[in-house]
Every structure is written in structure tokens, then in C-alpha cells.
Amino acid sequence: MNYEQLGLKMGLEIHQQLNTEKKLFCPCECELTNKKPDYKLLRYLRPTQSELGKIDRAAFEESRRKLEFVYESYDHETCLVEADDEPPHPLNMEAIEIALIIASLLNMSVVDEFHTMRKQVIDGSNTGGFQRTGLVATQGHIETEYGTVVIENLCLEEDAARRIGEKKGKTIFRLDRLGIPLLEVTTDPSMKHPEQVRDVAYQIGQVLRSTKVKRGLGTIRQDLNISIAEGARVEIKGVQDLDMMPTMVEHEVQRQVNLIEIMKELQNRNASVNDEIYNVSGLFEKTDSKIISKALSKGGTVLSIKLKGFRGLIGKEVQPGRRFGTELAAYAKKMGVSGIFHTDELPAYGISDEEVKNIEDKLELSDMDAFILVADNEEKARNAITEVQRRAKISILEVPEETRKALEDANSEYLRPLPTASRMYVETDIPTTVITREYLENIQKNLPELPEEKRVRIIEEYKLSNDMATQLVRLDKADDFEVIMSQTNLDPTTVGSTLAYTMKELRRDGHDISMLDNSSLIGTFALVEKGKIAKDAISDVLVGICKNMGSPEQTANQLNLTMLSDEEVEAIIDDLISENIEIIKERKMGAMGALMGKSMQKLQGKADGKLVNKLLKDKIYNIIN
Ligand SMILES: [Zn+2]
């Protein structure tokens, strides 16, 4: 695909949770919990008129779904601020400080005053119907091989409540996540190369990870804005894998190009969407379709609409494995139905040729026309098919602006319309925070080292291999490595390999490596230094510590891993030599390899390999000479 010709433009929006002691506007801890909630709040949110007097498009759409919201709350993990029953406490300055560090690393201009604003959000994820947010910095930049990318804004905001699920039309949220400080980094939408988006996301990630941010699944969320000249701006939410970004861009461009092609064909055919909704339940009294008969038996309805000039286009693929019909169905599904049936896939799914013909007769379809079916309870079915009608009408005119959800196969799925900008107003409960030049300069004097800088430095300073240094930085173990190195005389490679590789293996084997703090690692390394255990025994001692066997020394003793004295080692080797005297006579020095293996097996890590090697070599030499 020629992206340049298509006028491809992309931007990124990255949300990162900060690892502060407390939440942004209350003293609760920033930890998620899986405990049973102590109580539940029930709320019903409606859109309010924002300052500009316009109801936000996305907000309005959500309210049409008439959802009630349940909030799972706790006596200790959450407080009245999350429940919106108490005004917010003063802004958490630790969060501001981290935001200022990140802003400085991204070369941004910091604001003089931080104003807390309210951003209207009525999908229920905020108990107050708004999210608190404020601008920290603007106009930064990142260099890429395709040119400079502008970082437009950096905002500090509250994370939303955690969506747990849905039950009987009520959406259930947990309040533990609400209020965790969250940074929003937005680039300008000027990126033109899919690889450039990945690079910028990677670089921003590196900057974030050089500071106190949360790690792990769900703590960073990446959204991708994509548009092409003839298409529309689309925001794909929740892109997990950076390496998938270029493919995701490709699939979205493909989708828009195909939708444009469908649009042009519809215009050529003079296509239109009839407003009428037909009740066709009567045509399905004896149907073999499980979905339809189930809906009817519950007192539901089968509704149909007529799409003039659409035949053959609904089944057209727009993204790998996803058809134009999938796009229509996504709008229906947002209204709570499980899906739609359309002309281009019928007869199928138990719907017979005769039933198809009956609908075509009733709707007076020509052979260029298509129909859509939805079966569910009357209200849901009507809302769903109205949405399909709306989407189908748009398809004749343009590619719609949408917020979409990233799927694991690099495709995406319709989530809601793209929010309009009119949804910010001032939070009057929180005073302005002045950011003085002195305060900022102090922060900028002590900026952290970026992960990449750290990687290069530790290779140089400790003579580590490239892979080991990369692993240490990636696993966030480089700081621990340096702390341990300052307290041990052991060689850097042994320490590095324990942190970069051994611990990973232990975790993979199911051991509780949270027991392995720096002091128990330093204690274990000290045993090697003092000659009490062999290097080879490090991993066994660590396993013992994970199993709660006590201090490194106690563990080594209990596991019988302490080194043998030189005399004990020599005695064992003498035994081995007399057992293998024939082999030695036959192979001479060539017997070294076999005997070395046997000795190490017998000594089980309780002797130094170098000593064993030397003893063997001397003794074999003496025998054959
Ligand atoms: Zn709280």
C-alpha cells in the first residue's frame, strides 16, 4: 500500500499509571484488590449539558443504553472520595513531581500553574460522571529516523474505575483503580510511517519506565489515531503489543480503503436506506434458526430493514476475516443483541431459502437490494436495527469517525463514536497548584538516566554481555544489580546472570521469587565469596530461600550444599581415579573430559570446578608418566 499517496497520518495517546504511595486526590493506596467488596453503590448516570451547551456525542450514545452502574467499594481500600461522597483532597505532589520529570525528559514546556479540570465521562467509569485531569506540559519532541515528532500534551489525571462485568443490564465497576494517578501523553497526528509510530511508542515507554511508574499488564495503555485523506479519523484503543502496531495500521488503512470503495459503488448504484422497519416475525413461525426461534419463544420479535442497492457489498471483506457486514453488526451489538443476519450470507444458520424469498417479497426487494434481520426482544431489536440503519446511511456518504477497540489479530472493532471536544469544565473543589521555576529547576537537576543510557553504561562499566545488560534493563533489575555490585566482590557476570536469567527460570518453575530481595541475594553471593558454596550452588540456595528455609547460610547448610574441604575433594577424586584406572591407561590425558564429568556429578556443586580440574590433571599426569 502506498501510504504517502493515501495521505496516512497517525498519532499516539499513551496512558501510564504512576507508582505513587497514594491516589491523586485521596489517601488510598494505589493497589488493585481481588477481595470481596465490603459494599456496593448503585448509580444511574445521565449526560449533563457541558459548558458549551452541547451534549457530547459519545456521552449521548452511552446514555441511550440506559445502563445502571454498580460500584464495588471497600472499607479500607477505597474511601468516600472515590464514591463521590466527599470532596477531593489536595493534589498529590508526588504525582506532579513524576509528571514534571517525564515532561522534562520529553523536552516539554511546563505550565506555570496546574489547573484541575473535569472531563465529562458518562460510560459509568467515574462515579461523578467526570474524570479529573490537568495539563502539565506542552510542545515536547522526540527524534525518529523519519523526522521529529511533536509531543503535544502531557496531562495528569485520575484513572477510571475498573470494569468488572455486566449483570442484568447493570455494569459493574470496582473503585480500587479509580483515582490512581495516570499520565496521558499525546503526540501530534503527523506521523506518516507505521514504523515511526512503533518507534515513538517505544521511546515514550522508555522515558516512562525510567521513573516511578507502574509495571505490568494494564498499567500502560496505548491508543493509536489513524486517518487517511479520503477516510476518517479513527482511534484504536488498547494496543498492547508495540510490534503489532505497523500491522494494525495496515489493517485499518485497508478497512478505510475498502469502505471508500464500497461507498463509491453505493453512490454509483444510487443506493439508499429505507427508514421503515418491518416486523417479519410472522415469516418465521416454523423456522429452523435457533437464534430466531429462541427469540420468538421468549416473546421477542424479528425486525428487518431494506437496504436499496446494497446486495453483494455487505459480504465484502474490509479487514482480513472481517466483512462490511461485521461493521454493521458491531453497531447492532452495542445495543445488546448478539448479532445480525444479512442477505449476502443467507440462506444459512437455519434460515431457509424459502424464508429468504418471503422476506424479499414482503420488503419488495429487487435483485440489487439487501435486507438485514435482527431477532431479540422488541426494544433491543428496534434499537439495534435503528443503529444498523444509521450506520448503513453513513456508509453511502463517508467513512465514520470512530473509537475502536484493538483486537488480538491486529484488526479492530467498533466501540463508540469519536468523542467531540466539548467536554471540559473547571473543577472548583481543588485550588490551583503553582509550579515555580525553582521547583522545576530542582527536579531538572536530578533527571533519571534513560533505560537505553543505562544499558550502554552498565555494559561499559561492568563488562557485561549485550544480552545480559539488555535483560537487566528490560526486567528492571539494573538498579538492583548495581546495588548488589556495590556490596560484593563477586564478578559482575555471576551477579548479572543470577538476576537476568536464574531468577527468571526460578519464577518459570513456579518458585516464589518475591522472597529473593537484595539482602538475601547479597547473602548468597557472600557465601560464594567466602568459599562456602560453589557458584553452581547459587540457584539451589535461592530455591531453598524461596521455600522459606531461612537465611542463605541456613539454607545452604540444610541443603547440604556447603563446600567440601580441599582434603575431602582430593579423597573423592582419588577414589574416582582408582575406579577408572583402566580408562586412564588407555586414553591417557584424553580421559580428562570423562573424569571431570564424573567428578562434578559426584561432588554435586560442593567443590570448585577449577580445583577439581587441577587435581585431576596433576593426578592423571603422574599416573601416565
Ligand atoms: Zn480514596
Distance (angstroms) between ligand 1 centre and the Cα of 79 equals 4
DSSP string spanning 135-161?
EEEEEEEEEETTEEEEEEEEEEEEPPP
CA distance 387 to 331: 6
CA distance 467 to 106: 27
Distance (angstroms) between ligand 1 centre and the Cα of 91 equals 13
Distance (angstroms) between ligand 1 centre and the Cα of 156 equals 17
Give the model's pLDDT for residue 309.
Answer: 96
Distance (angstroms) between ligand 1 centre and the Cα of 582 equals 78
List, for the chain, all residue ranges whose pLDDT scores fall below the cut of 50: 50-53
- CA 19 remoteness from chain centre: 16
Give the model's pLDDT for residue 62.
Answer: 57
Contact 592, 617 (CB under 8 A): yes
Strand partners, 173: 71, 163
Distance (angstroms) between ligand 1 centre and the Cα of 409 equals 38
H helix count then E strand count, the chain: 22, 24
Sign of the Cα torsion 519, 522, 527, 533 reads positive
Please name which of 160, 172, 165 lies closest in space to residue 126, comparing C-alpha atoms.
160
How many C-beta neighbours within 10 Å does residue 217 have?
6
DSSP string spanning 519-557?
HHHHHHHHHHHTTSS-GGGHHHHHHHHHTT--SHHHHHH
- pLDDT for 112-165, tens place per residue? 999 999 988 878 899 988 899 999 999 999 999 999 999 999 999 999 999 998
Collect all residues with Cβ–Cβ distance below 8 Å to 591 and sequence separation of at least 6.
580, 583, 584, 620
Give the model's pLDDT for residue 51.
Answer: 41
Distance (angstroms) between ligand 1 centre and the Cα of 56 equals 28
Distance (angstroms) between ligand 1 centre and the Cα of 396 equals 49
Distance (angstroms) between ligand 1 centre and the Cα of 581 equals 76
Cα within 13 Å of Cα(516), Cβ side? 26
Distance (angstroms) between ligand 1 centre and the Cα of 159 equals 12
What's the farthest any 2 CA atoms get from each other in the chain?
Answer: 107
Distance (angstroms) between ligand 1 centre and the Cα of 215 equals 21
Run of H or E residues at 10: strand 9-17
Contact 192, 146 (CB under 8 A): yes
pTM of the predicted protein model: 0.78
| 217-222 LR contacts (CB < 8 Å, sep 24+) | 219/16, 219/17, 220/14, 220/15, 220/16, 220/17, 221/14, 221/15, 221/16, 222/12, 222/13, 222/14, 222/15
Distance (angstroms) between ligand 1 centre and the Cα of 86 equals 10
Q: Exposed (0-12), middle (13-18) or buried (19+): which is 99, by Cβ within 10 Å?
A: buried
Distance (angstroms) between ligand 1 centre and the Cα of 444 equals 31
- pLDDT for 158-217, tens place per residue? 999 999 988 877 889 999 999 999 999 999 999 999 999 999 999 999 999 889 999 888
Distance (angstroms) between ligand 1 centre and the Cα of 19 equals 16
Give the model's pLDDT for residue 52.
Answer: 39
Tell me what percent of the residues of the chain surpass a pLDDT of 70: 96
DSSP string spanning 289-302?
-HHHHHHHHTT-EE
Distance (angstroms) between ligand 1 centre and the Cα of 179 equals 7
Task: Give backbone dihedrals phi and psi of 61, rounded to 5 degrees, phi first.
Answer: -60, -45
